[in-house]
Amino acid sequence: MEAGGARAAGNNSATNPGYYVYGDDIFYDNDNKLLMNAGVDMRMGFIKKVYGILAVQLLVTFGITLCMGMLLPTMFIYNNSWLFILTCVVTCGISIALACSPGLCRSYPHNYIALGIFTVCEGIMLGFITSIYTISSLLLTVGITCLVMGGLTIFAMTTKRDFTTGLMPYLFAGVLTLLLFGLLLMIFHPKGSSYWYAVYGGLGALVFSAYIVFDTQLICGRGEHLGMDFTIDDYVIAALSIYLDVINLFLYLLQLFGSTQDN
């Protein structure tokens, strides 16, 4: 249970169900502390916690990425590819663990430890992936990513339109299109490939911009009709969902604004 919430006395019988008291809100066991049942203050507290975690994640990730680009020679990065493979394995392992064990996502401090390791590994992976780009273009892309993410977040939180309704099939189709498009580019290397990579980057940026809006509205408690509403203890998985959207947005924007090093 989070600090500020207390388990109240009671049992789980039909006549006297167990319940939780959290501030001015009461949650019965069978509603699992869903955001849709929470008061305004609790929702705002959840959102602040999620975006606080997200801010730290992005600072750590982009900090590691930029430090690797500025301080480590490109050949050093190429000659230590084992580290890239190791971080890939670790991130995949943590992703599987979080997906298969919802309790891990809600168990303090294990959720923060898992998220911290995942974030550091993502930063190292990005450092390898972006090592071919100039520092100036990386800084530009990081700045654009933060501006786009901030604008979309404000829009998603303030608009009256519910983008969680009916958008999921299109998001799935968009990701599938990106996978097929990227596979074709790798196999055939068409003439004017720089043009096609720019198209690919633009399409990817649009898809993950839509994902940011979608996931932001889920975090604000609009996903109950999808059966995807978060509980008040899901702050780690909520932060991770937005974090992955932002990282993917960054990588696709890099296709548009990144400049490779001459050496």
Distance CA 179, CA 119 (A): 24
Give per-residue pLDDT as tens, 49-76: 999 999 999 999 999 999 998 888 878 8
Give per-residue pLDDT as tens, 226-238: 556 677 888 898 9
Question: For 33-37, 135-139, 242-246, which range has the lowest pLDDT when averaged over its residues?
Answer: 33-37
Give yes or no for residue 89 having a pLDDT over 80.
yes
Q: Check residue 20 and report its DSSP letter.
A: E
Phi, psi dihedral angles at 17 (to 5 degrees)? -70, 150
| Helix 40-71 vs helix 135-158: crossing angle, to nearest 10 | 170
pTM above 0.85, yes or no: no
Distance CA 26, CA 20 (A): 6
167/158: higher pLDDT: 158
Residue 38 binned pLDDT confidence (cut-offs 50, 70, 90): low
Return all residues near 202 (Cβ < 8 A) that are at least 6 apart.
252, 255, 256
If you average pLDDT over residues 78-99, what whole number do you get? 91
